[in-house]
Chain A
Amino acid sequence: MSDDQTTQIREAIQSAITENPVILFMKGTPDQPMCGFSARTVAILQSVGKPFAAVNILPDPRIRQELSGLSDWPTIPQLFIDGEFVGGCDIVTEMYESGELQHALGVEDDAGNGQAAPEAQAQEPAPLTIENRL
């Protein structure tokens, strides 16, 4: 019964990670984060100015369960870049402060690069919920 659904959830998570170059699994949505760690991670991604997909893990506890099974990481949020697990809030914060995150996202923190100015690139993040992927 629910085994089928669990498999579906796991597959939906896997394809979401594969299909979205930058994807954040979080509590709540970028507009309405439900946890301080998720909020901080969203704020960092937005300040870097790179569009990202976001999945709210709260609607179904199995999302978190399957996600943590895949990533071998117990906490939320979880950021994936190009299909690879990058880390949670602490690691994303450290990487942002050291410039590694900007590098990994291909958005160097370089004033001379007008093309990557966060304002100019006011592209909406694409909120993506697991539900409408099933």
Chain B
Amino acid sequence: MAATDAPATPEELKTRIEAGIPGATAAVTGDGHHFNAVVSAPAFQGLSRIAQHRLVYDVFGAEVGDRIHALSIQTKAKAAETENSA
């Protein structure tokens, strides 16, 4: 895992959320300690808000509250991108 003391960045969080949740799109803002993430993913469909937020928190495990001091989350379910958007 990312055992680093380097300050977290919005770009890092975005990359990790999108890698950790299949099909997710994330927009992350933050100052290195407090972050806000707006995440949409097909995986959220049919889940309660709590379950959706847990999926995002789970990407970071114990780093939330520690290296990532605070992480605000808004989630949206989105349809899987199987459209003809070649």
Contacts and interface: CB of A to CB of B under 8 A. Distances in A.
Contact of B50 (A37, A75, A87): A87
Mostly, the A contact residues are mixed
Contacts of A88: 53
A108 B65 CA distance: 34
Interface residues of A, number: 14
Contacts of A94: 49, 74
Contact-residue bracket for chain B:
10 to 19
B49 A87 contact: yes
B71 A91 contact: no
Interface in A53-99: 72-76, 85-91, 94
A89 B49 contact: no
B73 A85 contact: no
